Structure 1
Amino acid sequence: MNDKQFISKYKRLEEMFLTTLLGDVPTILLGTKLRNIMYKSIFGKLGNSVYIHNGVEFISTRYIEIGNGVYLFKDVRIHAGSHQNNRVCLADGVILEKSVEIGALDNTQIHIGERTFIGSSVCIGGPGNITIGKDCLIASHAGIVANNHIFDDPTQKISSQGITRKGITIEDDCWLGHAVTVLDGVTIGKGSVIGAGAVVTKDIPSYSVAVGIPAKVIRQRTSKDFVKSRN
């Protein structure tokens, strides 16, 4: 075993020990404060005044970066994978509601911008890179998954034909309604609103309102005064 492998194994043991010891300590017994203090040694970054509810699960904490004032509610699960280039970054003021799942596979970067709110039971996963901007609102049960199975050859099993990993970008100040699905390769432009239950298969221009399966733009959010102020 070389030095790098030894350090990696040690870090994993330290992570398992601390998260097992402190992960389920109830909030009313100072669990949040204990996790804030003791977890700093195992994370890539752990900011100040972070609220980590009991029951939150972390895997590969050395690849997870959490900013100041982040809230992680019960049953959140963040799996940062094992690749050295992986990163899951939650910027200052991010809120992850109950049962949010974030998963990174090999060579995956997932970044959630400042003050963005992620509702309960949202699934966010690679292996494609995912960037969610500042001040976004993602409602419960949304799915943001940056991969897609290739199935062109009917003579082969779908599982053996590989996947795409183009990545997903959701720009600043977007609102995604309940149970929206965003597919691989999509960019949702700044200030856009995606209606509940929509499936976004193509890029959405900035300041658009889009609904349906597949999602189609039904109007723009640009008033005359707004357009004048930008010109």
Structure 2
Amino acid sequence: MRQKLLQLWTDVWMRWAGPDRRGKVATWLAAWPYAPYKARVALAHRYAQGYIAPSAQISGRRIKRGRHTFIGDGVVIYQRHDGGQIELGDFVELHRDTIIECGRGGSLTIGERTGIQPHCQLSAYVEQIIIGRRCQIAPQCAFYPYDHGTAAGQPIHNQPLTSRGPIVLEDDVWLGYGVVVLSGVTIGTGTVVGAGSVVTRSLPAGVIAVGVPARIIRERTAQDIDYPR
């Protein structure tokens, strides 16, 4: 009986949940019976409108969220007036304190069922960031599809932003803790990048790469854990 009453409580408040002030209060009340952090992913999976933590901040006019998306505590999604579209696919998870920003020339797409763990930074300026389906992005990863000028004789803050091209992660990519991905990089389907690596050049599908800069150490084999197709 108690469980049914708690579920009814959540059902009622989730009808009003959303990113505005009233919706944040409703979300807080709906989540009250649930433990914090990842326990609240269940709310996103249960309700098609997904779950946006009351402490998350979302600013922008061209932000498209799919069904059952999870946006955790402290997440920031910021779209400048000159930024392109930000699109989150169905069942995407953005965990605690991840920051997404989109400005001049940039846009961002995250495919369905991709999970981005806490404290990641996705900064879509000058070029696109495209992340495929079912990717797993560990904490503290960073994506920068642009480079900052460093010419002598000019203050750093006056230097132009340039790019070698978009960042593209194909489906089922796994990035370990603290991986940095730079402009012009494509990471192929099913590739794994080890913790702390800096990816400066494209990687083919189905390999394992580590290091600064990231280098291929071997191909994935039948002995490795299969990734979903």
Is 1:111 aligned to 2:109, yes or no? yes
Larger helix fraction of residues: 1
- Which SS does the other structure have where 1:159 is aligned? helix
Give 5+ residue unaligned stretches, structure 1. Answer: 1-17, 33-46, 225-231
1:37-67: per-residue Cα shift (whole Å, max 9, x none)?
xxxxxxxxxx93311111010111x210000
8 Å contact kept, 2:19–2:52: no
Tell me what 1:59 maps to.
59
Tell me what 2:6 maps to.
none
Tell me what 1:102 maps to.
100
1:159-180: per-residue Cα shift (whole Å, max 9, x none)?
2231113221011000000000
**RMSD between superposed Cα atoms in Å:** 2.1
2:121 to 114, 123, 129: 123
1:124-151: per-residue Cα shift (whole Å, max 9, x none)?
0111210000000000000011111121
Q: For residue 57 of structure 1, what is the amino acid of its counterpart?
A: Q
CA distance in structure 2 between the aligned counterparts of 1:48 and 1:107, rounded to whole angstroms: 31
Identity of aligned residues (%): 35
CA distance in structure 1 between the aligned counterparts of 2:51 and 2:24, rounded to whole angstroms: 14
Q: TM-score scaled to structure 1, two decimals? A: 0.76
1:67-92: per-residue Cα shift (whole Å, max 9, x none)?
00101111110012112x61000000
CA distance in structure 1 between the aligned counterparts of 2:216 and 2:26, rounded to whole angstroms: 46
Q: 1:23 to 1:144 in 2, by over 3 A?
A: farther
- Which SS does the other structure have where 2:213 is aligned? coil
CA distance in structure 2 between the aligned counterparts of 1:185 and 1:51, rounded to whole angstroms: 33
Tell me what 2:195 maps to.
196
TM-aligned CA deviation for residue 119 of structure 1:
0.3
Q: For residue 84 of structure 2, what is the amino acid of its counterpart?
A: N
Tell me what 2:39 maps to.
none
8 Å contact kept, 2:54–2:73: yes
- Which SS does the other structure have where 1:30 is aligned? helix
Number of equivalenced pairs? 190
Q: TM-score scaled to structure 2, two decimals? A: 0.77
CA distance in structure 2 between the aligned counterparts of 1:80 and 1:22, rounded to whole angstroms: 22
CA distance in structure 1 between the aligned counterparts of 2:143 and 2:23, rounded to whole angstroms: 27
CA distance in structure 2 between the aligned counterparts of 1:158 and 1:167, rounded to whole angstroms: 23
CA distance in structure 1 between the aligned counterparts of 2:202 and 2:185, rounded to whole angstroms: 5
Tell me what 2:40 maps to.
none
Tell me what 1:160 maps to.
158
Tell me what 1:179 maps to.
178
1:88-136: per-residue Cα shift (whole Å, max 9, x none)?
0000010011111000001321000010000000000111210000000
